[in-house]
Amino acid sequence: MISTMGNGFFRTVVVVLGVWTAAASAQAQRNKRFAFADGKISMELADGWKKIEREGTLGAFESSDQKSSMFFTIAAAAGASGMPEILEGALDNFEQAFIVKKTGDFKSGQIQGPNKKWTAIFTTLELEMEAKPHNVPFRFYITIFDTGSALYMIQGSTMMPVRDVREKEIFRMIRSVIATK
């Protein structure tokens, strides 16, 4: 509410402060950082995304339209010796659960840790979830990273066709991941 008391200058200051406060509040909502996995990992959520409960995950998030999600789990190494082998094992699990149409190239990277950057590996999958009467196509974004004490997997997904703005949100959230312990 804008005060009608005082002179024009006072009203201008109140309006400017109100606009600045609303903008700061909107920015704070856009930059919500959520910690999970007993505070070991955190991530900034994009606008319209929220934290949800999903059994078997360390952290679960979904878009407001419920067409995209992001899950964090412990990555199973299953005796694999390196990050590419661990990612291959994860992809084998996806092939058992979905109809995989295309697998992207593996890319290496890093997740920011408390004192150093942690090794990470990333790929995309285009797949279909079996459903009646028609299968549902998705793009998955899989990242596995090693904090030294545990291996984590980030599984982002969105329904196809992929909107450019949604893919940018998913990439921005993956890049915002920080290992805190």
Q: What is the pLDDT of residues 43-90, one digit of tens each?
A: 999 999 999 999 999 999 999 999 999 999 998 876 667 889 989 999
pLDDT number for residue 7: 53
pTM, entire model: 0.79
CA distance 152 to 146: 6
Residues 157 and 91 grouped into a single domain: yes
Query: Residue 159: is its pLDDT beyond 60?
Result: yes
CA distance 155 to 70: 5
Tell me which residue range forms the domain holding 83: 33-179
Q: How far is CA 181 from CA 17, 35, 43, 148, 153, in A?
A: 39, 11, 14, 10, 16
Question: How many Cβ atoms from other residues are within 10 Å of residue 83's Cβ?
Answer: 20
Helix (H) or strand (E) holding 161: none
Give pLDDT tens digits for 115-131. 889 999 999 999 999 99
Residues 24 and 92 grouped into a single domain: no
Cβ pair 42, 177 in contact under 8 A: yes
Confidence of residue 12 (pLDDT cuts 50, 70, 90): very low
Cβ pair 167, 158 in contact under 8 A: yes
CATH code for the domain of 94: 3.40.1000.10
Q: Is 27 helix (H, G, I), strand (E, B) or coil?
A: helix
Query: Residue 152: is its pLDDT beyond 80?
Result: yes
**Two tokens, residue 10:** 């006072």
Residues 137 and 116 grouped into a single domain: yes
Residues 64 and 8 grouped into a single domain: no
Average predicted confidence (pLDDT) for the chain: 84
Over range 141-148, report the average pLDDT.
92
Total count of domains within the chain: 2
**Two tokens, residue 48:** 């319209």
Residues 100 and 151 grouped into a single domain: yes
